[in-house]
Amino acid sequence: MSTLHPPAADGPACPWHADGRFAPDLALEDYPSTMLTRLAQAIQVELSSAYTREHGLSVSEWRMLARLNSVGSIQLADFCRETGMDKAYVSRLVRSLQPLDLIRVQRDPQHGRKLIVEITPQGRSLARRVLPKARAAQEELMQVLSPSERVVFYGAVKKLQAALEQRPSTKSSP
């Protein structure tokens, strides 16, 4: 018989069984995927919207600009894979950022059908203005966790990411 984890000293009882199995009646809102999706969406809406709106960017446009600020340029397909964004949606982001001279797109000289997107000097300048605000908002949120909870949270997320990367893909190959 599987038992539930006892309640944490400062929070609700964990609805997942200690042996890693879920009860058959586990509520959808207690599925890890649902919890993480809702958390990510709330972070984007609550934290990102203020500084992105101030600079005339959507949250997704900011994510693209921030990623390009760190790598300089990247194949569009690699960007989609790394961010988990749909190719059609990323194409719309490119069409919105390119006329603002924040990014530029060119054909990959080694693979003529592939596109490379890169940040422009103007895009880098904007990213450098927004990045401290983004970092501060994220740091402020993490203050609700104790230092040891932050370490456990980071380790748990990285472990789940690694486990998913090790799983065989269910997507069909092109």
Q: Under a CB-based contact definition with an 8 Å cutoff, are residues 66 and 131 in contact?
A: yes
* 167: in domain: no
Does any domain span residue 146? no
Q: Specify the pTM.
A: 0.74
**87 confidence band (pLDDT: 50, 70, 90):** very high
The domain that contains 40 carries what CATH number?
A: 1.10.10.10
Range of the domain at 99: 29-133
In a domain, 55, yes or no: yes
Asked whether residue 169 is domain-assigned, the answer is no
- The pLDDT-based confidence of 38 (bands split at 50, 70, 90) is very high
pLDDT at 19: 83
Is the Cβ–Cβ distance between 80 and 92 less than 8 Å?
Answer: no
Higher pLDDT, 62 or 5: 62
Model confidence band, residue 78 (pLDDT cutoffs 50, 70, 90):
very high
Residue 36, in any domain of the structure = yes
Residue 112 confidence (pLDDT): 76
Q: In what order do the strands lie in the sheet with 115-119?
A: 73-75, 115-119, 103-107
Q: Is the pLDDT of residue 105 over 90?
A: yes
**Count of the separate structural domains present in the chain:** 1
In a domain, 10, yes or no: no
- pLDDT for res 4: 47
pLDDT at 15: 86
In a domain, 17, yes or no: no
